[in-house]
Amino acid sequence: MAFLDLEELTQDEKLLREEVHRFAEEVVRPASIELDRMPAKERVKPDSPFFKVMKQMKRLEYHKILIPHEKGGLQLTPRQAYIFWEELGWGSTGFATALGVDMIPFTVITYFGSKQAYEELVEPWLKRDDWIGCWGVTEPEHGSDYLIMLREEESLVEKMGRGNVVAEKDGNEWIITGHKSSWVSAAPVATHCGLHAQVKEGKTLAHGLFCVVPLNLKGVAKGEPEDMLGMRDCPQGWVSFDHVRIPEHYVVVAPGPFYGIFCDQLLCLTSVTVGAFSVGLARAAFEEALKYARERVQGGAPLIKHKNIKLKLYEMFEKVEVARAYVRKAMEYTYSRLYKGTFDASPRHARAAQIFAKKVAYEVAHDALQIFGAYGLHKEFIVQKLFRDARSLLIEDGTVEVLSLEAADDIIENYEKEYYNAESITRRFQEYVTEIEQKERR
Amino acid sequence: MSVVFPSKKWMDELLKKINSDEQYRKVAATWEGDYLLTVLLDEEALKDFQDPEKMAGLISMLKTLPPDKWAKFKGRPEEKLFEKLGLKLDEIVRDPSVLDRVDVNELAKKMASIRLEEIRGAALYLWMDFWHGEFRRFEVVAPGEKMEAKFKLTGNYSLYKQIVQGKVEVIPLVISGKLKLHGDLGYMLRNMAAVKRFSELLASIPVK
């Protein structure tokens, strides 16, 4: 469904929207519906629609949208990137998530890693259509608290306990051991994992590192896809590491102050991105409801003639428009920081984009389902899938509650500052490393 | 025309290059802060300084150290290095001009017999002072000096060499933990344009 965009897009941006929307409508959405109805195990078989769509996206070079031109990518402008994510999210938040997490290990190497890691891992990923990345954060004993470690008091972070995946240095290699929980998006289909692990001697999650682990290495095991309520088009499952050895240059972000800044900034990127495809989901739900309300006759008149429906439709429209305006702005700010390599995006603003858009997606999908009445509960209509996906978003990539608390810490500490204040993160993460270094020296 | 790295000529060239660059002046207009670089000698350094030209370059840098600073090397790994090279620290402390008379060919030859374990921890300390788009001072300093510098960067000689040659960038090395950076990272991130321009100019000097 076409719509007026107040941003007055350029011709290139309009063409991009049309192209991605067509793909989302004709390829992504039908496949996502098919996957949603399939048993969990069927979804990861080689002939699954999941792989067909992922391969098509790779052939269209969608995985390259954040990679700079000089590194073999497309590097869309921040505004183009917003358009891209909203349209893909409109088609399926599951596929948008799968593509997002696919990018994480390789995009992180491109921006932060060594030339050697780029040549060994990123160059093949750019060319091949069968390498898929995932993002290993969530653990059996740690989920959204990975966010809390950034700004919460040290004593509380210590109470959260140690990480479930541990990294130990051994000569020129690191040994990875432990278990990531069943909720790792795309893990069952992934070939590589961008992994957060705690350093063996470290006291808390904060004393960690980010590395990329090829999942065909000895000692890696992956679980079957879980049978989830929503986002079923992006298989989730556990991944475990039994003394898996990786070369030193696969550790992209070493323990220390930059690990804290890296986690904070990566969360800014994922937040605005999840925000964008949440807006896409909200718009999809709104458009479904509008279309249905125009056609469906109840009580002798089309639904759109009923005042309560009109009111709901207006409120849904308002929410989608406001969410788009804010998330797009937040994404433009955040992505431009990534492109400039300044790593100084604003955590509170990026988190707000994700939190607000997720809530809007849930509220709009909820209202859309209500407008559909009993048909909304029927699997024939996509609106129940959108509702389940929107409900899942309130938990995935950080629960809205923990995201809000974490954003609140940044607001309380830094609201008046017109720049990214990394002072406390730098100090705290440096202390962890200094402690270990002193121990090593003794 | 290439210059030897490390050497006093290279230091002068870098100072000149930065201060004559309009772009740097612009992007670093608000930068306030100095760096203390600790260049730890490693296997590659031991090999490089077997080249008399490079040894001469190292000596030319050390000669810029004020006479009263030499005593700070007492009891440190650098003193062991001087001893291995046949240089007596006490003599240098008394009269730093002995360095004017050293035979760099002889020193380079002696370098070949030094093992890293014998001098582990020996380093070259450099101090760079930047202020509002100007590279005010670039000096060799003694151990323990300029510890209050806004940023302290520590790493092996081979890494610094790669940076100077433009083979690697500073930031990925810091992120991967190969170079240790202590200081206000937030400030540095906000001024990344200045850091990047400096790195570009640093790598643009042809070195031997």
ipTM: 0.70
Contact A426 B186 (CB under 8 A): yes
- Please provide residue B182's backbone torsions phi and psi, each rounded to the nearest 5 degrees: -115, 135
Distance CA A354, CA A421 (A): 20
CB A152 within 8 A of CB A413: no
CB A60 within 8 A of CB A23: yes
Q: Mind listing the pLDDT tens digit for each residue in A39-61?
A: 999 999 999 999 999 999 999 99
Percent residues over pLDDT 90 in chain A? 84
Q: How confident is the model at residue A214 (pLDDT cuts 50, 70, 90)?
A: very high
Q: Residue A233's CB: how many other CB atoms inside 10 A? A: 28
Percent residues over pLDDT 70 in chain A? 98
Owner of token pair 């050497």: B7
CB A278 within 8 A of CB A360: yes
Question: What are the structure tokens assigned to A236, written together?
Answer: 């989730």
Q: How confident is the model at residue B168 (pLDDT cuts 50, 70, 90)?
A: confident
Mean predicted confidence (pLDDT) in A208-235 = 97
Owner of token pair 């399939």: A38
Q: Is pLDDT of B94 > 70?
A: yes
Question: What are the structure tokens assigned to A157, written together?
Answer: 């972070």
Q: How confident is the model at residue B9 (pLDDT cuts 50, 70, 90)?
A: very high
Interfacial A residues in 367-386 facing B (CB < 8 Å): none
pLDDT of residue A91: 98
pLDDT of residue A425: 81
pLDDT of residue A256: 84
Mean predicted confidence (pLDDT) in B106-128 = 95
Of B178, B185, B190, the CB nearest to A257: B185
Q: How confident is the model at residue B79 (pLDDT cuts 50, 70, 90)?
A: very high
Is A21 exposed, middle or buried (CB count within 10 Å of its CB: 0-12, 13-18, 19+)?
Answer: buried
pLDDT of residue A12: 96
Length in residues, chain A: 442
Question: What are the structure tokens assigned to B32, written together?
Answer: 């306030």
| Cα angle: B195, vertex B201, B206; to 5 degrees | 145
Average pLDDT along chain B: 93
Distance CA A125, CA A147 (A): 29
**Best CA proximity match to A257, nearest among A66, A442, A114, A437:** A437
Give me the total of CB pairs closer than 8 Å, taking one residue from chain A and one from chain B: 65
Using CA atoms of B92, B98, B102, B107 in order, give the dihedral in degrees to the nearest 10. Answer: 0
pLDDT of residue A158: 85
CB A67 within 8 A of CB A56: no
Mean predicted confidence (pLDDT) in B117-140 = 96
- Please provide residue B44's backbone torsions phi and psi, each rounded to the nearest 5 degrees: -65, -35
Interfacial A residues in 34-73 facing B (CB < 8 Å): none
CATH class name, domain A134-255: mainly beta
Question: What are the structure tokens assigned to A160, written together?
Answer: 């959260």
Single-letter residue type at B127: W
Of B180, B186, B192, the CB nearest to A422: B186
Cβ-Cβ contacts under 8 Å for B152 (sequence gap 6 or more):
B35, B36, B38, B180, B181, B182, B183
pLDDT of residue B208: 87
Question: What are the structure tokens assigned to A249, written together?
Answer: 């240059």
DSSP one-letter code for B204: T
Q: Mind listing the pLDDT tens digit for each residue in A317-333?
A: 999 999 999 999 999 99
CB B158 within 8 A of CB B42: yes
Around A336, how many Cα atoms within 13 Å sit in the side-chain half-sphere? 8
Q: Mind listing the pLDDT tens digit for each residue in A235-260?
A: 999 999 999 999 999 999 988 888 99
pTM of the model: 0.88
Distance CA A180, CA A137 (A): 7
Distance CA A294, CA A275 (A): 28
Of B172, B182, B193, the CB nearest to A114: B172
pLDDT of residue B138: 97
For CATH 2.40.110.10, list the domain ranges present in chain A.
Answer: 134-255
Helix, strand, or coil (residue A135): strand
Question: What are the structure tokens assigned to A319, written together?
Answer: 């929410």
Q: How confident is the model at residue A442 (pLDDT cuts 50, 70, 90)?
A: low
CATH number for A11-132: choose from 3.10.20.30, 3.40.50.1820, 2.60.200.20, 1.10.540.10. Answer: 1.10.540.10
pLDDT of residue A436: 65
Asked if A431 has any chain B CB less than 8 Å from its own CB, the reply is no
Distance CA A249, CA A212 (A): 9
Single-letter residue type at A7: E
Task: For an interface test with A, give the residue of B170, B176, B180 to mutate (most A CBs within 10 A).
Answer: B176
For CATH 1.10.540.10, list the domain ranges present in chain A.
Answer: 11-132
Distance CA A282, CA A291 (A): 14
For CATH 1.20.140.10, list the domain ranges present in chain A.
Answer: 258-430
DSSP one-letter code for B67: G
Q: Mind listing the pLDDT tens digit for each residue in A418-434?
A: 888 887 787 777 776 67
Distance CA A178, CA A209 (A): 14
pLDDT of residue A420: 87
Distance (Å) of CA A180 to CA A142, A143, A187, A207, A418: 9, 10, 10, 17, 37
Q: How far is B178 from chain A (nearest CA, A)?
A: 8
- CATH 3.40.50.880 is the classification of domain A258-430: no
The structural domains of chain B, ordered by start, are 8-203 (3.30.1050.10)
Owner of token pair 């240098």: B92
Instruction: Give exposure, B164-197, as e/b (b: 16+ Cβ within 10 Å).
Output: beeebbbbbbbbbbbbbbbbbbbbbbbbbbbbbb
Distance CA A138, CA A183 (A): 7
Going across the sheet that includes B180-183, the strands are B134-141, B123-131, B32-40, B151-156, B180-183
CB B143 within 8 A of CB B73: yes
Distance CA A85, CA A78 (A): 11
Question: What are the structure tokens assigned to A60, written together?
Answer: 């269209």
Question: What are the structure tokens assigned to B67, written together?
Answer: 């006479």
Q: Mind listing the pLDDT tens digit for each residue in A160-209?
A: 888 999 999 999 999 999 999 999 999 999 999 999 999 998 888 888 99
A116 to chain B: nearest residue by CA? B168
Q: Is pLDDT of A159 > 90?
A: no
Single-letter residue type at B31: W
Q: Mind listing the pLDDT tens digit for each residue in A70-125?
A: 999 999 999 999 999 999 999 999 999 999 999 999 999 999 898 899 999 999 99
pLDDT of residue A437: 66
Contact A423 B182 (CB under 8 A): no
Q: Mind listing the pLDDT tens digit for each residue in A372-429?
A: 999 999 999 999 999 999 999 999 999 999 999 999 999 999 999 988 888 778 777 7
